[in-house]
Amino acid sequence: MTDEQRSAMAEKLRSMTPEQLAALQKEQCIFCKIVSGQIPSKKIYEDQIMIAILDINPAARGHLLLIPKNHYMIMPHVPDGEMAHLFVVAQKLSECVLRTLKVGGTSLFIANGQVAGQRAQHVILHVIPRKEGDKVLEFTDTLISSEMVSKVETAVKPTFFKHLGLGGDEPKNDGGNSEEKKDSGSTGVVHAALEPDAPHPEPSAYKEHSASGAVRDEGVVKKSAKKVVASKGIPVVSQDEKVVPKRKDDDVSLDDIANLFK
């Protein structure tokens, strides 16, 4: 796309209503086309809420993509019930992966936002078969100071409680008109939280979405990133525990996988 085309496109997008925009996104979404069957896929599971297919460019053989049938661009848009459903199905599929592919573990992974590695405009839950030393989803744990930990606590707690539906008051969760709460409870909370600044946020829209939280003002996230570098050399936790007994490939059971920890 040339710059001109791009700005013309941007102009066009600006003039659209949120509904039109959402429809356009859905129309263009590869994963919605996979769900509808317009694009062929290697489907291994389907129900009313989601499908699971093999990733065509997998991290490992048997890499599964769990895709909600509804078009949700980012994770906060996914209603509670569907989120829960995805993970419960993922648990079952993970077990199938362990059993069928005889791997030593699985990773369940969601990339939410571009900086987090989200490539598709549609929420996806990955189930990835794992083998020792496979160079998939590598990470390093770093020790952070107790001050940092409590800063995080102070900053995150109020918003987290808000999203849980727990205000300053004792939660009124028991009895009463729970029928109504069911409606507002599942999707309502999520959308209410997003609506003020971002009726139809894209992953990048979250940049502007940052609330006025104390931590944000101090730039703790950025600062601390430096701190981590400064205090590098703290051992990676997972590497301390590389006392993995060698097993034959074909006698993996769930108990074996769990027992490796003992």
Partner 1 sequence: MKCEYCEIVEREGKAPILYIDEELVVAIKDKVMAPGQITIFPRKHYTILEMVPELLIAKCSVVANKVSMALFESLGCQGTNILISNGLASGQSVPHFGIEVIPRIEEDKVGLTWEGKQLNDDEFEMTMRALVEDVKKAQAEKAKKVEKETAADAAAANSESAVLGKDVKVVDDSSRKSGEGKASGEAVTKAKTKSQAVPPLVRNIRRIP
Cβ atoms 256, 100 nearer than 8 A: no
Interacting partner of 8 out of partner 1, Zn ion, none (Cβ under 5 to 8 A depending on kind): none
* Residue 217: both structure tokens together: 């003002």
- For the segment 138-167, give every residue that binds Zn ion (CB under 5 A): none
* CA neighbor of 64 nearest in space, from 113, 114, 101: 101
Interactions with Zn ion, residue window 63-102 (CB under 5 A): 71
71 binds, among partner 1, Zn ion, none (CB under 5 to 8 A by kind): Zn ion
Which residues are CB-neighbours of 250 under 8 A, at least 6 positions away? 102
Find the part of the chain contacting Zn ion (CB under 5 A) among 116-124, 141-149, 182-190, 252-260. Answer: 116-124
Whichever of 24 and 214 has its CB closer to Zn ion, that residue is 24
User: Nearest approach, Cβ of 226 to partner 1 (angstroms)?
Assistant: 11
Question: Interface residues for Zn ion in 19-58 (CB under 5 A)?
Answer: 29, 31-32
Q: Is the CB of 21 or the CB of 44 nearer to partner 1?
A: 44
CA 21: distance to chain centroid? 23
**122 near Zn ion, judged by CB under 5 A:** yes
Q: Is-contact 252 104, C-beta < 8 A?
A: yes
Between 10 and 115, CB nearer to partner 1: 115
Interaction partner, residue 29 (Zn ion, partner 1, none; CB < 5-8 Å by kind): Zn ion
Task: Say if CB 43 and CB 64 are below 8 A apart.
Answer: no
Closest CB 199 distance from partner 1, rounded Å: 15
From the list partner 1, Zn ion, none, which binds 22 (C-beta under 5 to 8 Å, kind-based)? none
Using CB distances below 5 to 8 A depending on partner kind, what does residue 188 bind out of partner 1, Zn ion, none? none
Compare residues 12 and 207 and give the one whose CB is closer to partner 1: 207
CB nearer to partner 1: give 6 or 99. 99
243 phi and psi, to 5 degrees? Answer: -105, 50
Q: What long-range pairs does 224-230 form, CB within 8 A, spacing at least 24?
A: 224/144, 224/148, 227/144, 227/145, 227/148, 228/142, 228/144
Residues present in the chain in total: 262
**Best CA proximity match to 195, nearest among 76, 113, 82:** 76
Interface with Zn ion (CB under 5 A): 29, 31-32, 71, 122
